[in-house]
Amino acid sequence: QAMTAMEKIAAKLPDGIGYEWTGLSFQERQSGSQAPILYAISILVVFLCLAALYESWSIPFAVIMVVPLGVLGALLAVTLRGLENDVFFQVGLLTTVGLSAKNAILIVEFARDLQAEGKMGPIEAALEASRLRLRPILMTSMAFILGVTPLAISNGAGSASQHAIGTGVIGGMITATFLAIFMIPMFFVVLRARVAGEKEDPDVALQHYEAHHAHDHDAENSDNGGSGGSNGESGDSGPGKEGH
pLDDT of 170? 92
Cα distance between residue 87 and residue 24, in whole Å: 10
Note down pLDDT in tens along the chain; length 244 residues: 666 677 677 777 777 776 766 666 666 666 666 777 877 888 888 888 888 887 878 788 888 888 888 889 999 998 998 887 777 888 888 888 888 888 888 888 888 888 888 777 788 888 888 888 888 888 988 998 999 899 888 887 778 888 888 899 999 999 988 888 888 888 888 887 776 555 555 554 455 545 555 545 444 555 555 544 444 444 444 444 444 4
Query: Residue 237 corresponds to which amino acid?
Result: S
CA distance 36 to 57: 24
Q: How many domains does the chain have?
A: 1
Identify whether 141 is part of a domain.
yes
Which one-letter amino acid corresponds to residue 100? S
Residue 159 CA neighbour count, 13 Å, CB half: 8
Compute how many other C-beta atoms are within 10 angstroms of the C-beta atom of residue 141.
21
Angstrom distance (rounded) from CA 179 to CA 175: 5
- The reply to whether 145 falls in a domain is yes
Q: What is the pLDDT of residue 93?
A: 86
Residue 24 is assigned to a structural domain of this protein: no
Residue 242 included in any domain: no
Domain assignment of residue 172, yes or no: yes
Inside any domain, residue 78: yes
Residue 37: which domain range?
32-214
- DSSP code for 117: T
| pLDDT value at residue 238 | 45
Give the CATH number, domain containing residue 158. Answer: 1.20.1640.10
Q: Where do runs of H (alpha helix) occur along 87-201?
A: 87-116, 122-152, 159-178, 180-194
Q: What is the pTM of this model?
A: 0.65
Report if residue 223 sits inside a domain.
Answer: no
